[in-house]
Amino acid sequence: MSIYENKQKILAIPGSLREASLMRHLLRTLPQIAPDDMEITIFDLHEIPLYNQDIEDAAGFPPGVQAFRDAVSASDGLIIATSEYNGSVPGVLKNSIDWASRQGLLAKRPVALISGSPGALGATKAQEHLRSIVSHLGMYALPRPAVAIPKLQDKLEDNKITDELTRKFVSQWLEAFQDWIEQLNK
């Protein structure tokens, strides 16, 4: 039984900009398997410029950054989907986290991490780096289950996870995240 009168609002961030991004496709599958009272909205990072403290000092947050920060503030928790670039998180994702982190906005926010790759390892290294980053910020990262999906392109079709075992793991992970947020709000 959820403690939420309305739906739990989750902001889901794909750590990639490309049109055919596996991370965005993965996030689009989530609403179908999420608990009924969880509402998942995808936030794309296209409008986030490169971080430059001169810009922040002179003019505050650029509009795309402010929109991102407002969406974070309005959410009950974040989901971040990362692919792996050269053994770590993509620069666009780290850059967006840097903007969002200003003035402590991300501290104490629940977050669930997920990763995937076309290769055999599921971007586990990037996910661990991401875990280290969000922990550094004082975010409350769902400790388990951890979900890292190898050969992701073979498991997604028409906004659905076609591989049954993967779908089950991801759905259990969403339920665990819902419980995690509820525990943190007690």
Question: What is the β-pairing status of strands 147-149 and 8-14?
Answer: unpaired
**86 near ligand FNR, judged by CB under 6 A:** yes
* From 11, 22, 93, 113, residue interacting with ligand FNR (rule: CB under 6 A): 22
Stretch that binds ligand FNR, among 34-42, 60-68, 69-77, 115-123 (CB under 6 A): 115-123
> Interface mask (CB under 6 A) for ligand FNR, residues 123-162, using x and -?
x---------------------------------------
Write down how long the chain is: 186
Binding residue for ligand FNR (CB under 6 A) from 53, 57, 87, 186?
87
CA 32 to chain centre: 17
CB of 148 vs ligand FNR, minimal distance in Å? 10
Q: Which residues of 53-88 are buried (b: 16+ CB within 10 A; e: fewer)?
A: eeeeeeeebbeebeebbebbeebbbbbbbbbbbeeb
**By the rule CB under 6 A, 16 interacts with ligand FNR:** yes
Q: Binding of ligand FNR at residue 166 (CB under 6 A)?
A: no
Angstrom distance (rounded) from CA 180 to CA 178: 5
List 8, 29, 75, 83, residue binding ligand FNR (CB under 6 A)? 83
Q: Which regions of the chain does DSSP assign to beta strands (E)?
A: 8-14, 38-42, 77-82, 110-116, 140-141, 147-149, 156-157, 160-161
Per CB under 6 A, residues contacting ligand FNR are 16, 18, 21-23, 83-87, 117-119, 121, 123
